[in-house]
Amino acid sequence: MSEVLEILKYTVPALVVFITAYFILKSMLDKEVQKHRIEIVMNNQKIITPIRLQAYERLSLFLERIALESLIMRTQQPKMTVGQLQSRLISSIRTEFDHNLSQQVYVSVAAWGVIKNAKENLIQMINAMAGKMDTSAPAMDLSKALLEQVMQMDVSPTKEALTFLKKEISGIF
């Protein structure tokens, strides 16, 4: 019996030291792993943040470019007909949209949805207004009608989308 007590005298303190060392080392290693993960996230943020900002900038520029006021000014030419202007406006909107398609990766799903809705609403507006007119009428008639419709709106689709982007970007940064 005394031999068992003698063995326990040495093994119990050794076990206590071993268990204590194990938990201390485990805690230290867990903290190191967590610290490493935080460093990885921070490094990713340094890379992704400028890219995301650039995406928001490009989408803002897209919205400004497809705003009817600027789109008509860039697109309309003398002696165009309603049908030609309608085709050109829609083509310009789709081209601009296709050019910025990759930006959806860097913005929220909601922001991308608002961008798509603004594009679709503009196309619908152009088609609806052009559908009420003779396609061989002067393009100036369509331009005037579209601009009048935009002025009657509380907020145009592009301004609404731009406001949404601004709110979202201010919430992120």
User: Shortest CA distance to 93 belongs to which of 66, 70, 126?
Assistant: 66
Q: Concatenate the DSSP letters of all residues of 101-124 into one string.
A: GGGGGTS-HHHHHHHHHHHHHHHH
Instruction: Name which residue leads in pLDDT, 80 or 42.
Output: 80
Alpha carbon 146 to its chain centroid, in Å, reads 28
For tokens 């230290």, the residue is: 28
DSSP type of residue 156: -
pLDDT tens, residue by residue, 125-158: 999 999 999 999 999 999 999 999 999 998 899 9
Over residues 75-103, the mean pLDDT reads: 95
pLDDT tens, residue by residue, 25-53: 999 999 999 999 988 888 877 888 889 99
For tokens 């921070």, the residue is: 42
